[in-house]
Amino acid sequence: MFRSKKHFCRNIIPALAIVLGLTMPTAKSLAESSSNSKSISTTQAAQRPLSDFLSAQGTVSVFNCCVPMVPDYIGWTRPFSTPPADQRLALVDYAGVGNTWLVANGYPSLGTTISGTVRERPLEDGRAEVTVNLHTWNALAYVLTYDLSGPINQNQINPMIFGFKPQDLLADPAKQPALGQSHLQVVFKNPAPGASLPDIVNAFVLGNTVPGQELVSIYFNATATGELRADSGFPEGTSGRLTIAQSGILFRGPFKGATTDGFPAEMVELRRVGQ
């Protein structure tokens, strides 16, 4: 998972309570209970426009700093236990902010398309739990070497091992972008129903949450095909495939990554096509 700037999070273990000695319900009471539950859930949950989430992304350029500045989106790493020589940072443009930046600077659209849902459920404490599901196609993807203790702008200075960054494509339109598809699910608590949705990099990676915001979970899966670079260990231009699988659960505060920080799965794999 992308490293936050000296912010830490703790994994929270949920407690399960089992109540014994209750009268066994009849089939009728079970049906009535299920019907009532569904009615309450439907009444409380509300669907928000997907644009409420998408328009809030890409508001900061901290990791993609320097000139030209590209909006940040979350990058994904292997676990902390990975040997430094094998560590890497993978980025897939799940919210289309990289493609939007390219188009705004005169580059042809990559054809990035996004569908999904934003559902909001009121909580008893006055806040809302928001669940975002994004499905993205033709998303720009790239991977670079990464040092967990290195500078914050490694996205700009470290060797590339797969694909090309938006800046690379803009500088040389002859380069072929690595493209893929992804699924992002992020669940977080927001100050109130209807409140503005956060830029998840700014809020949960950089730690700039507003009062009442809290990350609950984040899941990300992606596959992409493109060119492997010489620093990958394969000849420059070899056809490669990127696979990402990340699961982060039950946070308090900004996430940092690795199993001890609530990430039981942190896979970033590169293979030559055909292997």
pLDDT in tens, 255-270: 544 334 566 678 999 9
Q: Do 78 and 3 meet the contact criterion of CB atoms below 8 Å apart?
A: no
Lowest model confidence (mean pLDDT) among 38-42, 54-58, 157-161, 202-206: 38-42
**For 198-207, how does the pLDDT look when each residue is reduced to its tens digit (9 = 90+)?**
999 999 999 9
d(CA 66, CA 11): 34
182 pLDDT more than 70: yes
What pLDDT, on a 0 to 100 scale, did the predictor assign at position 267?
Answer: 94
- Confidence at 68, pLDDT banded by 50, 70, 90: confident
**CB atoms near residue 160 (< 10 Å):** 18
127 pLDDT more than 70: yes
Average pLDDT over residues 157-177: 96
Q: What is the pTM of this model?
A: 0.80
Taking alpha carbons only, the member of 141, 161, 162, 146 closest to residue 223 is: 141
Burial category of 226 from C-beta neighbours within 10 Å (exposed 0-12, middle 13-18, buried 19 and up): buried
Please, what is the average pLDDT of the chain? 83
**CB atoms near residue 255 (< 10 Å):** 26
What pLDDT, on a 0 to 100 scale, did the predictor assign at position 251?
Answer: 56
Residue 247 phi, psi dihedral angles, 5° rounding:
-135, 120
Average pLDDT over residues 118-129: 97
Q: Do 49 and 118 meet the contact criterion of CB atoms below 8 Å apart?
A: yes
What pLDDT, on a 0 to 100 scale, did the predictor assign at position 250?
Answer: 59
Average pLDDT over residues 132-136: 98
144 pLDDT more than 80: yes
36 pLDDT more than 80: no
Q: Please give the helix or strand (H or E) that residue 131 lies within, else none.
A: strand 128-145
pLDDT: which is higher, 66 or 202? 202
- Summary count for the chain: helices (H), strands (E): 6, 10
